[in-house]
Structure 1
Amino acid sequence: MNAVVPVKWVLARMYEPDIVIVDCRFTLGKPESGRAAYEEAHIPGAIYLDLEQDLSGPVEADGSGGRHPLPDPATLAARLGRAGISNESRVVAYDDQGGAMASRLWWLMKYLGHDNVFVMDGGFKAWTEANFPVTAEQRITIPAQFLATVQHNLLSEVYDVQDVVAGTKSATLIDSREPARYRGEVEPIDPVAGHIPGAKNVLWAEGRGADGLWKSTEEQAARFEGLSVNKDDEIIVYCGSGVTATPNVMALLEAGYTNVKLYAGSWSDWVSDKENPVATGDE
């Protein structure tokens, strides 16, 4: 089954006992806005998980690990359990950021060894436009046990990327950020502009059509055709801080690529080490 499910799929299953719906709305620079939106209205029964409080670890003073470091697996597993998510749960994530925040939870669940996780197509906007029910009432969560089986093969560390840049490791680097940031023309967040040398730019948001919905498997495959990569070649995906790269990870997997990894620290981790080279312009 595909990672992305339509709102009608969620509506038909929202009250099934093993379904856990997770509201992941979050706006960078406005950290309280997502929870405030959830408290105002959300899908009935949904719980809320916060990008920075729940789905990221503490930021290091030297910037290593990036702006949204991976949470400690045991800490995240305990948080999921407190939210009522068990190893038997079917998890459906949604946001109002084009799927970026929901995809972060999707990837983290996969990283912890939980495959029964989905992203709701079109997010909260598609749900409300369909006139499906919303509520301000918050469910009473019954804690569950979630045991993590960490899948290290889904993750690339900074030394893996350094080896690719040095030519001692073979992999394709994909930069998921906006083209102007990739080229180094602007950098509104991180202290250095540009991209990792050799990386190709594939904007994460282009995984959605003009209607805001997820593109078909064939359309996703077309986005990556220009990379000249075999389906089983290693691909390392990054963005600014390891969040908006995850929709591209999901798209690549749906397009049939089998060896896709996330550089979780991403650009913000890369530039925390002044020894790491930086490129600008197109490649």
Structure 2
Amino acid sequence: MVNVFVDAFKLERDGRFIDTRFDLQNVDLGKRLFEEEHVKGAIYWDLEHDLSDMSKRDGRHPLPNKVQLQTLFEKSGLHYNDAIYIYDQGGAPYATRAWWMLKYAGFQHVYIVNGGYESLVAAGFEITKEVTKYEPRALQLQWNDAILLNREDVLAITEGKHKATLLDARAAARFRGEFEPFEPIAGHIPTAKNYDWEQLKDGNKLVITSSILDTVSKDEEIIVYCGSGVTATPVYCILAEAGYQNIKIYMAGYSDWVYHYPVEVGAIN
């Protein structure tokens, strides 16, 4: 079993901290909150400036390429042996996105602070507005390509050429195609099941629920996707925490798929 989440009261005091607070409706909020105060020693990674390459066209929050990610990790002064603790505002999908990217790059000692920033404050971690500067470090990354799928991989699943379960992490009404606030066509990728990621929220924490365990089993190969590769990551992380080992992400998501292949509407029985 992979230990994904850590309680703020139990984590090591000498680890590296990454602040990923963000708000999709107010994209400058996270950076402003960091500038006002953050855990001492933390660096800030912005969803759209660091954890996405917004110049790409494959989805609304495209994954940076390997060169871009390596540059981010190196300039952040990270090392494979570091204990890395990622936090956001709690019960959100931003720390989980950063966690997945670090695991994709082969980092082994990466954890999400369950409960977010306020739980660290409650646990007595020193808070400051001073920004710590770290010396860049050269990294020899061991990429885990097996956990990332592209649209052609997903197409093979929809056509029955590869057996796997697609799991859509968006709200049920968007999955059924009743409305679509971002893309020109509403619906979901053919054959997909639906599990709204917000069902995993318990206040400012993400928790393993009986409903997610009932939706997919550990003997399935599971490919999680959402609209743009943000809210799929909490589902991925909770499944990893629950002991699921054969899980992957179609990071480009529905916002990529809808421009290339047909979609389905309605519920899946």
Question: For the superposition of Structure 1 and Structure 2, which TM-score range results when normalised by the shorter chain?
Answer: over 0.9
Correspondence for 2:48: 52
Q: Is the 8 A contact 1:26 1:97 kept in 2?
A: no
Correspondence for 1:235: 222
Give the superposition deviation at 1:47.
Answer: 0.5
Correspondence for 2:196: 203
User: Helix, strand or coil: the match of 2:239?
Assistant: helix
The reply to whether residue 262 of structure 1 matches residue 259 of structure 2 is no
Q: 1:191 to 1:125 in 2, by over 3 A?
A: farther
The reply to whether residue 167 of structure 1 matches residue 160 of structure 2 is yes
Residue 214 of structure 1: which of 192, 202, 206 is its match?
206
Correspondence for 1:123: 116
The reply to whether residue 194 of structure 1 matches residue 187 of structure 2 is yes
Give the superposition deviation at 1:129.
Answer: 4.9
1:124-139 to 2 correspondences below 5 Å? 124-129=117-122, 132-139=125-132
User: Helix, strand or coil: the match of 1:280?
Assistant: coil
Correspondence for 1:5: 6
How many residues of Structure 1 are paired with residues of Structure 2 in the alignment? 267
The whole-number CA distance in structure 1 between the counterparts of 2:31 and 2:130 is 13
User: Helix, strand or coil: the match of 1:224?
Assistant: helix
Q: Is the 8 A contact 1:59 1:68 kept in 2?
A: no
Tell me the alpha carbon deviations over residues 142-199 of structure 1, each in whole angstroms, 9 at most, x when there is no partner: 2222222111111111111111111111100100011111111122222221111111
Give the superposition deviation at 1:130.
Answer: 5.2
User: Helix, strand or coil: the match of 1:5?
Assistant: strand
Name which of structure 1's ranges 139-148 and 150-159 shifts more when overlaid on structure 2: 139-148
Name which of structure 1's ranges 104-113 and 93-102 shifts more when overlaid on structure 2: 93-102
The whole-number CA distance in structure 1 between the counterparts of 2:252 and 2:89 is 23
User: Helix, strand or coil: the match of 2:262?
Assistant: coil
- Where does the alignment leave 5 or more consecutive residues of structure 1 unmatched? none
Give the superposition deviation at 1:205.
Answer: 2.1
The reply to whether residue 70 of structure 1 matches residue 63 of structure 2 is yes
Correspondence for 1:27: 23
Q: 1:258 to 1:33 in 2, by over 3 A?
A: same
RMSD: 1.8
Give the superposition deviation at 1:120.
Answer: 0.3
Q: 1:270 to 1:89 in 2, by over 3 A?
A: same
User: Helix, strand or coil: the match of 2:9?
Assistant: helix
Name which of structure 1's ranges 245-254 and 182-191 shifts more when overlaid on structure 2: 182-191
The whole-number CA distance in structure 2 between the counterparts of 1:270 and 1:240 is 9
Correspondence for 1:79: 72
Correspondence for 1:282: 267
Identity of aligned residues (%): 39
Query: Aligned partner of 1:53: which letter?
Result: H
Q: 1:136 to 1:151 in 2, by over 3 A?
A: same
Q: 1:176 to 1:228 in 2, by over 3 A?
A: closer
The whole-number CA distance in structure 2 between the counterparts of 1:180 and 1:136 is 41
User: Helix, strand or coil: the match of 1:37?
Assistant: helix
Query: Aligned partner of 1:154: which letter?
Result: I
Give the superposition deviation at 1:7.
Answer: 1.2
- Where does the alignment leave 5 or more consecutive residues of structure 2 unmatched? none
The whole-number CA distance in structure 2 between the counterparts of 1:56 and 1:194 is 24
Give the superposition deviation at 1:103.
Answer: 0.5
Query: Aligned partner of 2:28: which letter?
Result: E
Query: Aligned partner of 2:132: which letter?
Result: R
The whole-number CA distance in structure 2 between the counterparts of 1:142 and 1:94 is 22
Give the superposition deviation at 1:138.
Answer: 0.9
Give the superposition deviation at 1:225.
Answer: 3.7
TM-score when scaled to structure 1?
Answer: 0.88
User: Helix, strand or coil: the match of 1:66?
Assistant: coil
User: Helix, strand or coil: the match of 1:108?
Assistant: helix
